[in-house]
Amino acid sequence: MNDGQIRGFEGWTILFDLDGTLVDTAPDLLGALNHVLTGMDLAPVRLDAVAEMIGHGARAMIETGLKTQGAVLTAAEMDAAFERFVVHYVDHIADCSRPFEGAVEALATLRDAGARLTVCTNKRQDLSERLIGALALDSYFDVIFGADRATQRKPHADHVFETLAAAGGAPERALFVGDSRTDERAARNAGLPFVFVTFGYEAETAEAIGADVTISHYAQLVSALSDLRDQAVASPRGR
């Protein structure tokens, strides 16, 4: 990548999803889920049984894990299971979770090129901040915007717009990076170009997602974002 490709991100905001996009959080989330299940004398589950639910929150993961074994909880029991999940997850939030290969280098390059970097995630605000801090990624981001901070969470456009507003960014100079259909819909609803990463947790194929650009490694990200930036400048989208 030459200098000409990475310059010119001043005034641009890049929104990143968190789980499955920036960080491989599956091992620690699965550990928390299996802590809950085994505490109920149920068998632990494999990641492939619940991976697609990671972006939908802990309750969805728990419900899916229970469903694989035909177990049903009352509302009160579900609340208790959720609390056990969160307590365990907080204590083990970065035991095995790590940024995807090349992510840190890409973030550093984008920051050096003048981009504002944000996290737009359906993870809770406190858990998002704790994870990002534990992995020493907090210095890269201007804003972390969790689901409970948003008026309406992804895929609603409000989550995107509120993240941008908090960062001092504008939709016409913003790009979204994510690993799921939820992220794609959020980007489309807000009118942002979308980069789909194939190494996350989405069950749908890249072709089905229909992103503007698809990447399989963070080494491809800066070039992909540069191309989308140039296209947006040359042919502004109606927003």
Which residues are tagged catalytic?
Answer: 17
Residues 6+ apart with CB under 8 A from 13: 115, 116, 117, 118, 164, 167, 169, 170, 173, 174, 175
Contact 194, 231 (CB under 8 A): no
Burial environment of residue 184 by CB neighbours within 10 A (0 to 12, 13 to 18, 19 or more): buried
Question: Phi, psi at residue 69, to the nearest 5°?
Answer: -115, 10
